[in-house]
């Protein structure tokens, strides 16, 4: 009698929100037009980026609901078709930095967290300063809401640390999600300093 009960319990867990890769979170996202915006402050960007914390990670994604639960945890990595909750690393930077989907447009656009958008940039694009809104900065002077990017990952400085360590807000991986993490990107040669052009405060 125990085996059928155990099988039933596993099945229930697998189809619930706690199960790996459950559901299609993108069905609850929207595709509204971005709102042109005049303000891009570093503390505002900090606040916005933190809404993504605990919301998970989705390869190619950019949509979360700010309830501090990852409704798409444990999907296979680097599969855009899993349609889970959260941004990936470059999607989080794109939305936090209020960028346009058009790379020649350096203007400011507010994207609601639940708006599903990733943007045209990869981590390597940010590392190389591709696009009108993106620039490079010496790692030594990179501060709050500037970032560090390599060919495969990008994150933003939430608090500047010391000794090569910083508190980085980053969409890191399917299993580790999005959060503020202590990282040594400032001292790693694979990472370059990046900045948003056009801060208003």
Partner 1 sequence: MDRLTGIAVVALAAAAAPPPIPGALVTTVQVRRAGELAATLRECRGRAQRDWTKQTVVVDRRFGRRRSLTYRALDGRSLASCDSIGVPIERRRWCGAATGTLYGGRLRDPRLVLCEPRSGRPIGFIWVTPVRRARWIGVAAGDRTTLYRVAVGLPVRVSTDRNVRIRGSTATFVIRQYAGNGEVIRRRTIVARVAG
**Site for partner 1, rule CB under 8 A:** 59-60, 76-80, 88-91, 101-104, 117-125, 127-128, 130-131, 150-152, 189-190, 192
Tell me the closest approach of the beta carbon of residue 92 to partner 1, in angstroms: 12
Please return the burial class of 42, using the count of CB atoms within 10 Å of its CB with bins 0-12, 13-18 and 19+. middle
Would you say 154 and 191 are in contact if contact means Cβ atoms under 8 Å apart?
no
Between 9 and 80, name the residue whose CB sits nearer to partner 1: 80
Supply the minimum distance, in Å, between the C-beta of residue 99 and partner 1: 11
Residue (49 or 122) nearer to partner 1, CB = 122
Which residue lies nearer to partner 1 by CB, 46 or 150? 150
| Closer residue to partner 1, CB minimum distance, 136 or 159 | 136
C-beta closer to partner 1: residue 127 or 186: 127
Is residue 122 within 8 A of residue 90, CB to CB? The reply is: yes
In the complex, minimum distance from the CB of residue 201 to partner 1, in angstroms, rounded to a whole number: 27
C-alpha of 132 from chain center: 20
What is the C-alpha to C-alpha distance for residues 120 and 130, in angstroms, rounded to an integer? 10
C-alpha atoms less than 13 angstroms from C-alpha of 148 in its C-beta half-sphere: 27
Q: Work out whether strand 62-63 and strand 166-173 pair parallel, antiparallel, or are unpaired.
A: unpaired
Least Å from the CB of residue 191 to partner 1: 9
Q: At its nearest, how many Å lie between partner 1 and the CB of residue 8?
A: 32
């Amino acid at each position: 009698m125990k085996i059928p009960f155990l099988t039933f319990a596993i099945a229930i867990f697998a189809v619930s929100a706690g199960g790996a890769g459950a559901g299609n979170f993108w069905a609850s996202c929207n595709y509204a037009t971005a709102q042109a915006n005049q303000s891009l402050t570093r503390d505002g960007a900090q606040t916005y980026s933190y809404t993504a914390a605990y919301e998970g990670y989705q390869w190619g994604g950019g949509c979360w609901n700010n309830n501090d639960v990852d409704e798409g945890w444990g999907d296979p990595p680097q599969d855009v078709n899993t349609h889970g909750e959260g941004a990936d690393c470059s999607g989080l930077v794109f939305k936090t930095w209020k960028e346009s989907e058009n790379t020649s447009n350096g203007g400011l656009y507010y994207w609601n967290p639940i708006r599903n958008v990733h943007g045209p940039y990869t981590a390597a694009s940010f590392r190389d300063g591709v696009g009108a809104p993106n620039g490079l900065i010496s790692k030594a002077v990179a501060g709050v809401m500037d970032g560090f990017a390599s060919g495969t990952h990008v994150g933003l400085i939430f608090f500047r640390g010391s000794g090569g360590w910083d508190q980085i807000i980053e969409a890191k991986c399917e299993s580790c999600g999005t959060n503020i993490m202590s990282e040594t990107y400032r001292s790693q040669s694979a990472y370059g300093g990046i900045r948003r052009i056009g801060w208003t405060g």
